[in-house]
Structures are given as C-alpha cells and as structure tokens.
Amino acid sequence: MRGQNTWSYHPYRPLLIDVGEIYICRVAPTETAIHLEWLSEKTDFSVFYRTRGAERFIRFCDTQEHACDITGLAPETEYEFFVSSGEAKSRVRLARCGKSVGTTVNYLHPEDEAYAFSGRYLCSPSLLRHPDGYLLASMDLFEGEEAQNLTLIFRSDDDGATWHYVSELMPCFWGKLFLHRGELYMLACSTEYGDLLIGKSLDGGKTFGAPVALLRGGGGKNGQIGVHKNPQNMICHGGRLYGTLEWGSWKNREFGHAAMVMSCDENADLLIPENWHFSAPLKFDHFLPELADLPQKTMTIEGTLAVSPEGKLLNIMRFGRYNTAIAYEVNTADPDAPLRFAHLIPFSANYSKFTVKKDPVTGYYYTVGTRVYSPDNLRARNLLSLMRSQNLQEWEVVTDLLDYRHADSALVGFQYVDFEIEGEDLIFLSRTAINGAHNFHDANYSTFHRVKNFRTAPLLT
C-alpha cells in the first residue's frame, strides 16, 4: 500500500471497513421504485431486493448496465437491496419508497451504515454551474460525535433533470464548491472544527489535487474551539476575494462562535496559504440596549456576504433572536481587522443557514430561506420561501416554495439551501428531511429544484 497525494477518491475505502466490492454510489427512491447506480470493473450484474426484514431476497434482474430501477414496489415501505457479480457483492443498502420533493440528487436511509465511518445524514448542500455547462452538487455525511469527514460530488448534464456520481473528497466537511477565474475549487474543513482546507480540480470535479491547510482548527471536542463554516458564496470586492467563517464551537461556553472573514488578493494563487488573511475573530457583544438581555453565547454563525447599496461589504449572520439577523461590516482597508457591528435586520429566516445574492438584472437581493412562522416553534424548518430586498434591510416574501406546515415539523425540513440565478430561473439544492427522515435536522435527501420566472411569476418545478 502506497501513500496518496490526492483529495478525491472513486470511492473512498476506509481501511478495514467493508464498503462492498461493488460500490453502490447513488440511491434515489420514488413512491414505487428505487433507482440505484454502482461502480465496478465487472460487466455482468444481478440486482436483488426484499422488503426490509423479509426472509429471502428476490432476484429483480440481470444487467450489464451500472444502474437499475427496482420497480413495482409499495409506497411507504422500506426495502433492502444489493448488487452482485459472481462472488463479488455490494453492501446491503436501505431505502424507503415514498413521496419527496424536487429531483433527488442523492438519498441516504437514516439506518443505512454505508457511510457510518463519517455520518448517517446528508448535509452541506453546495451547487454550481460549471463553465463547461453542467451542474455540480456536493454534500457531506454528518452525525453528531462521529468523524464527519466525507463529501460526495454529483453531476447533471441536463440542467438538473438527472444526476450521476462523480467523486468523493476525504477529508472534507462543510464544503463549498466555487469558481474563481474559471477554475473549480473546494473550500472546506477537514472535519467539524478541524482545519480549513482548499483544493482545486482541473477536470470538473473528477479529481482534486491534495488540499492545502489555510488555518488550523482545534477540533471542537470538549468545548475546544476551531474553524466553523458553512457552504457560502465567495465574493469579489475591491480587488479581493472574500469568504466567511467563524471561530469557536457549540460546546464552547464562553462565547460560542466568533465571526470572521477570510480574504485574498483576487489575482493571487489561492493555494498558497500565505496569500490569505483572516480577520481577528469578533465575539458577540451587547452592541445595542435592546440586545442587553441576550446571553454572551448568542448564536452568530453561518454568515453570508453581500455588498450593500452604499458599497459596504456586510457579513449578514444567522442570529439567536426571533425574526432578526445581525449584520457586521468588513473592514476592506485592513484584511486583518475584526468585523464591526453594523445593524440588526428584521428577517424571518434567521434560525437556519441562508445565502444572499444580488440579482444582476433588477438589483434586488434574493434569498431562499427556511422561514420561521411561529415564535412557539423556532426550530421548524418545514416552510421554505423565496424572499427579496432592495436594500438588505427590508425583506418581503415573494412566494412560499415548499410549504409543509401541515406536516410534522419534527420530521420534515428544507434547509441550508444553496442557489444560483440563471437567466429567468433560480435553481437551488436543499438539505431535505422527508419520507422517513430521522428528524427534521438529520436529512435523508439532497434535492434539486428550479424556480421558473422567479422575478415575476415564480413557479417551482
């Protein structure tokens, strides 16, 4: 066994952990079928399935393809399945037939142990349109107290109608795919509160060179602090490339998370750590009299960058007060200086990660946010809305895209959306919990959606 100088795998095979000689790389259930795809150098396969817990597996078909749709299944029913070729077999995988939303990029049953070495749930949606025309989507595997260090990448060549597996990154968590000067990068952490990593792909995400560490993290265990981030847009402003992050941990009792930005000369090599600057972490303080009742460890995380109509670079953050976001101003004259408190923003999607982007056509700022609709249920994530603002201060709901207020908010969630504006449409990727999810937070789907005519007559398809 030789050492490796790479970040990407096809697939990643942990030592002494069986991921199957045949590797099922994508699962997408519908109400009455399960679509599966696999990787193998073999050419003749048999697909087997059974109702979960049944005595025997049923041979569904023989095929020379590397994909299959197991059809004729019962809705709201769980199934086990595997693929074989001679003595070679895949792991037995799990799926539940049932209704979802949008187009399934990937699915993971909450009790499927295929990625248990990293996690059991799909997180951190990241979406982009590659200059060569196709779409790329990434997501990581998370579970509290687990390693949380594997990311999966998928590709669509038909504008999101169908998806297929591309590669895996290890270690990679909280990752964001982004383009700079037409080249593809991934910015991520090695694990929760781990090192901040960046790497580049020259072949559209199939392979990434070895990442470099830009900032060392503390790990976040037992209250220790380190790097926290989320998949947010990178933004060029005043000749520099900026991104957001935080320093801290949920278990840190003193201040939780302190807000930061990172930046680099837009003409510099992004893979040289010394080219990056990090603002000094800013702990939350009681900046205004109306904030005096909030604890020191008030949530300020997952900031999104936007340039205000006045030309100020703002870091707008998820904030631990009902219907309120907090905005910090970036000191663009000094990349090492801490952020400065700017103002509070009335904002009804502040209890989950959100991204703000400016529409180049109208000048409006848009977000696809998980809207809080009741002060008695701040954790609910079953209402996803398209919102806009002319000034980053006053926000209006354009339309509700996924309204599942009729469903159990403990089990259904649409969250951490990453989106792109494309002509008359807006496309987005959602961390989706539905159809038998462990809970609203621990998502079992990554789903793709398109909002047609989002500026005038929004229609979710």
Domain ranges of the chain: 8-96
Of all residues in the chain, what percent carry a pLDDT higher than 70?
100
In CATH terms, the fold of domain 8-96 is Immunoglobulin-like (2.60.40)
The C-alpha atoms of residue 385 and residue 362 are separated, in whole angstroms, by 19
pLDDT category of residue 101 using cuts at 50, 70 and 90: very high
Edge-to-edge strands, sheet with 365-370? 357-358, 365-370, 383-389, 395-403
For tokens 């954790």, the residue is: 379
**Do 176 and 196 form a contact (C-beta atoms < 8 A)?**
no
Q: Is the pLDDT score of 148 beyond 90?
A: yes
Alpha-carbon 340 to chain mean position? 28
Please tell me whether residue 121 adopts helix, strand or coil conformation.
strand
Q: Which of 142-156, 176-190, 217-231, 407-421 has the lowest mean pLDDT?
A: 217-231
pLDDT tens digits for 27-60? Answer: 999 999 999 999 999 999 999 999 999 999 999 9
Task: Enter the pTM of the model.
Answer: 0.97
C-alpha to C-alpha distance for 29 and 49, rounded to whole angstroms = 13
Mean local confidence (pLDDT), 135-153? 96
pLDDT, tens digit (0-9, with 9 covering 90-100), for 294-337: 999 999 999 999 999 999 999 999 999 999 999 999 999 999 99
Q: E strands, 23-90, where?
A: 23-29, 34-39, 45-51, 58-63, 67-70, 78-85, 88-89
Q: What is the per-residue pLDDT for 332?
A: 98
What is the rounded average pLDDT of the residues 371-387?
A: 96
Mean pLDDT of all residues in 134-142: 98
**pLDDT at residue 18 in the model:** 86
* CA quadruple 333, 339, 340, 341: dihedral sign: positive
Mean of the per-residue pLDDT values of the chain: 96
Pairing of strands 395-403, 383-389: antiparallel
219 neighbors 194 (Cβ within 8 angstroms) = yes
Mean pLDDT within 401-422:
98
Q: Which amino acid is at 363?
A: G
For 150, how many CA atoms within 13 A lie in the half-sphere containing its CB?
23
Q: What is the pLDDT of residues 418-457, one digit of tens each?
A: 999 999 999 999 999 999 999 999 999 999 999 999 999 9
